[in-house]
Structure 1
Amino acid sequence: MKVRFWGVRGSIACPGPKTVRYGGNTTCIEIRTDNNELIILDAGTGIFPLSQMLLAELPVTANVLITHSHWDHIQGLPLFIPNFIPGNTLRLHGGFDPVSGKGIEQVMQVQLQYSFFPVREVEMKAKIEYVTLMPNETVQVGSARVTPCLLNHPVIDFGYRVECDGKSVFFTGDHEPPYNIYEPGEEGYDDYQMFVDEKAQSIVEAMRGVDVLIADSSYTDAEYASKKGWGHGTYSSSMATAKAAGAKLLFCTHHEPTRSDDALETVFAAALAANAEHTAGMDIRLAREGDVYEF
């Protein structure tokens, strides 16, 4: 299995001289099975350079797994070049949105409204298919098994476990570890803490023993105090989760867009030092646009 990062920034693309080393594109990760089947995790701006590379291997079937429908995870879809070429297939997977009452098809319908984009969906030349997924229900994608896990973000948000030929990857998308909304001593605290503990444990079990964990690590511990409830994790929370799940390799991603590459390396080094007692022997890396990991 091969993992390649095409976009590792969160919230908004941030190209420029201060983000050259780690990249400025928003979330997009390519997975190739041992049979060279193409699975794409999220469709941020990083999917555009990926689509340029795919022109060398047409026709393609792209199985895109959308974690959630926030802009930075879907905004590259209208410019996914194979959509404009006959013979290709885009198979879009994602969750049902209880607010709109629609499945993953709304991700394309909303973005391709004629007021916002000059090419309508009916004018796309590729075959576009939609697969609405349910939490914890495994689906077959080529030779891979994909299991969605409902995570914690201010919208329906799936993490995905991808398994193939005895190898596994788990991607959290955007995720904030569940926390108690009550203060200790308040009515409801104990009951809600039981829910939090059960949810946290179910997430760890969904990740159990993965070869590669790619986790939302947007904030430092100090930053998190003012970001609580925004739906994002910290370096420390990602490391703790990786440790609990027994993940073999952790990639920290969804880098804060205002953080330069130098600052990113500084806060990452500080997080490693702060968590050194609990992470001894673990393989922990910063996700970097262009990096490839094959196992």
Structure 2
Amino acid sequence: MKIKMWGVRGSIPSPGPRTVRYGGNTTCIEVRSEEDRLIILDAGTGIFPLAQSLLARLPVEANIFITHTHWDHIQGLPFFVPLHIPGNTVRIHGAFDLVTQQGVEHVMNVQLQYSYFPIREAELKAAVEYLTLTVGVPVRIGDATVTPVLMNHPVTDLGYRIECNGKSLFFTGDHEPWRNIYTPDDPAWAEYQGLVAQRQAALDAAIGPVDLLIVDTAYTEAEYPKKIGWGHGTFDAAFALAKRTGAKRLLCTHHEPTRSDEELEQAFAEALSRHPDPGCEVLLAYEGLEITL
């Protein structure tokens, strides 16, 4: 498999001289199977430059897997140029939305209302298919298998394990490690602690040993206490997850949008100093990074 990072920033695009090395586009990852099947993880603003790169290889057949419908993971969808070209096929996969009680098609229905975008959904030129996923049920994309896994975020959020010819990766999307919402002096603490342990063990098993683990590391340990419940992780939590699941390589992403390149490197280095033996290769994601498994 070949992986390329097209967007590594969280929450909102942050272009400019302060982020030029790591990039300011929001989440988008290109995955190519050995048969060259195209799998796209999330559709943040990084999907626009990805789309430009695809125009030299028409027609396009793309499978876009949305982790969740927060704006920074879908804001690039209307600008995915292959949607507007006849002969292309775009399949959009995602979770059932418990709030709207609708499938992933609701995302495009809303985004392509004329009040928000000048091209209506009915005017798209490509063949567009919507597929609502079931947690734990694999989807076959040619020689690759994509399995959705429930993560921890304020809205339904799916992580994805992709396997192809003996190689594997896991992308968490936005994820906050499971935690006990009660204090130790609360009678409910012990019971809920057991539930937290069960959820974490189930997630670790679903991730399993992987060649590449891509994790939301938005915050530092010092920042996290003020961000509890926002649905994002830390560098330290990612290191622990990689070690528990036997990951061969850890890629830290979803960078805090206010962080400059230098501040990001400093936060990363400080976290690494607390984990001198992370158990695997650890990298900071940047736009344009390519990894072959």
Q: Bin the TM-score by the shorter chain.
A: over 0.9
Runs of 4+ in 1 over 4 A off after TM superposition: none
Aligned to 1:11: 11
Secondary structure at 2:250's aligned position in 1? strand
Aligned to 1:51: 51
Distance 1:266 1:133 in 2: 38
Aligned to 1:115: 115
Aligned to 2:82: 82
What is the aligned-residue RMSD (CA, Å)?
A: 0.7
Please state if 1:253 is matched with 2:250. no
Aligned to 1:142: 142
Aligned to 2:159: 159
Distance 2:91 2:241 in 1: 31
Q: State the shift of 1:172 in Å.
A: 0.3
> Is contact 1:207–1:247 with CA below 8 Å preserved after alignment?
no
Aligned to 1:283: 281
Mapping for residues 210-249 of structure 1, pairs under 5 Å? 210-249=210-249
Aligned to 1:207: 207
Distance 1:238 1:2 in 2: 22
Q: State the shift of 1:185 in Å.
A: 2.1
Distance 2:64 2:139 in 1: 13
Secondary structure at 2:226's aligned position in 1? coil
1:130-189 CA distances to partner (integer Å, 9 max, x unpaired)? 010011111112211111100000000000000011110100000000100110020211
Distance 2:40 2:10 in 1: 17
Give the residue type in structure 1 aligned to 2:54. Answer: L
Mapping for residues 27-42 of structure 1, pairs under 5 Å? 27-42=27-42
Distance 2:16 2:256 in 1: 14
Distance 2:98 2:43 in 1: 21
Distance 1:187 1:104 in 2: 39
Mapping for residues 170-181 of structure 1, pairs under 5 Å? 170-181=170-181
Please state if 1:190 is matched with 2:190. yes
Structure 2 residue ranges without an equivalent (≥5):
none
Please state if 1:62 is matched with 2:58. no
Identity of aligned residues (%): 59
Distance 1:205 1:58 in 2: 39
Distance 1:71 1:267 in 2: 25
Distance 2:139 2:25 in 1: 29
Secondary structure at 1:214's aligned position in 2? strand
> Is contact 1:42–1:64 with CA below 8 Å preserved after alignment?
yes
1:11-38 CA distances to partner (integer Å, 9 max, x unpaired)? 0000000100000000000000011110
Q: State the shift of 1:229 in Å.
A: 0.5
Give the residue type in structure 2 aligned to 1:66. Answer: I
Q: State the shift of 1:190 in Å.
A: 1.1
Give the residue type in structure 2 aligned to 1:54. Answer: L
Please state if 1:272 is matched with 2:272. yes
Secondary structure at 1:154's aligned position in 2? coil
Secondary structure at 1:40's aligned position in 2? strand
Distance 1:39 1:90 in 2: 10
Q: TM-score, normalised by structure 1?
A: 0.98
Distance 1:236 1:180 in 2: 18
Distance 1:77 1:89 in 2: 14
Q: State the shift of 1:274 in Å.
A: 1.1
Q: State the shift of 1:208 in Å.
A: 1.0
Distance 1:92 1:169 in 2: 20
Q: TM-score, normalised by structure 2?
A: 0.99
Number of aligned residues? 293
Give the residue type in structure 1 aligned to 2:140. Answer: Q
Secondary structure at 1:222's aligned position in 2? coil
